Amino acid sequence: MMDGGEATTLRYPFEQAPEEGTVTRIAEGVFWARLPLPMALDHVNVYILDDGDGWTVFDTGFDTTRTRGIWVKLLGGPLRGKQVRRVIASHHHPDHIGLAGWFQAGGAELFTSRTAWLFARMLVLDEQDRPLPETAAFWRKSGMDPAILAKRLSERPFNFADVVAPLPLGFHNLREGGTLRAGGREWDVRLGQGHAPDQVTLWSRDCPLVLGADQLLPSISPNLGVYATEPEADPVADWLESCARLQGFARADHLVLPGHKLPFTGLPFRLRQKIENHHGALRRLLAHLDQPRRASECFAPIFKREITDGTYGLALVEAVAHLNHLVAQGKAERVEDAEGIWVWRAI
């Protein structure tokens, strides 16, 4: 233990996730379900809050036939007898907001941050058969492997419309410092940054519960990516600032209900660990820039593991994010090489 009795490790009170189509009771009026994802991170956690006359759902999973079927099973089984009257989407990523519009079509109201709603609604309407020229140029300038680039340019890219139900007009804006009543509790709204802009986390005033979404994960770090939409962005700075700010609210006894993996306690330790993990990656990356490097040549010092085809795209955008952060700090500079591709080097 540290001074003040603060835990220096994480604890997982629930050793197993709920089986498909079932829920696990976390606390009075708070239930946990898990939904499948067709990717390396093969699940997303969703939470259901009992409002007495109906349910509030925190995050929804992808809009797929299988996921809709699981929700139908849940609502006809452990959640039977009440309607979903409200959906809270923590952020705009498809695994969290994918079925919000489906629930809205059934009469539920959507609560999320304004930025999350705008991003999700814009992206679900922006369907593409092939990557846009701006995206192709960004991938090339970032140093994407030519074979991978050629393959991507010949294929339909990932579209929100493929896994996100249409989002109707109308939502309730969750702002930093606001409050919300759900599951018989008052929750403070605190927004996180870095992984997604204005990501909603909810902190109970009545008991040590936190709905942490992807801002507060136990054993993995969410992707901090830079994309063609904002190629000079510095999400690492946003992430580090958010972690530092949330330290002021975190307690060791908080039970954090994350978007992925298992609920955990030990949040102050985990926030320090998150900050140090990125500082460590930045130190290794800066040392690696003793000579000019493309972003695709920077995977090893950042991730300390082999990057496969399945994670290459996420690794590339996160490498650019860390390189951008070093540039913003004045520790590195970015120039173009003879082929017009960005290279970074330490100053």
**Mean of the pLDDT values across residues 257-268?**
98
Q: How confident is the model at residue 7 (pLDDT cuts 50, 70, 90)?
A: low
Over 50: is that where the pLDDT of 3 sits? no
Over 60: is that where the pLDDT of 1 sits? no
Predicted structure pTM score: 0.95
pLDDT score at 6: 54
**Mean of the pLDDT values across residues 69-74?**
98
Over 60: is that where the pLDDT of 175 sits? yes
CA distance 188 to 200: 10
Alpha helices in the chain (DSSP H): 65-76, 94-97, 100-105, 114-124, 133-141, 146-153, 235-246, 267-288, 299-303, 312-328
Contact 330, 324 (CB under 8 A): no
Domain 3-126+164-277 has CATH 3.60.15.10: yes
Q: How far is CA 210 from each of CA 26, 207, 214, 217, 265, rounded to the nearest angstrom?
A: 11, 9, 12, 11, 10
pLDDT one-digit tens code per residue, 186-238 = 999 999 999 999 999 999 999 999 999 999 999 999 999 999 999 999 999 99
Over 90: is that where the pLDDT of 159 sits? yes
pLDDT score at 182: 98
Over 50: is that where the pLDDT of 5 sits? no
Q: How far is CA 87 from each of CA 53, 120, 127, rounded to the nearest angstrom?
A: 14, 14, 24
For the chain, give every domain's residue range. 3-126+164-277
pLDDT score at 4: 38
CA distance 159 to 132: 12
Q: Quickly tell me which residue has 């233990």 as its tokens.
A: 1
CA distance 181 to 28: 14
pLDDT score at 118: 97
Half-sphere exposure of 203 (CA within 13 A, CB side): 19
**Mean of the pLDDT values across residues 130-137?**
96
CA distance 187 to 157: 38
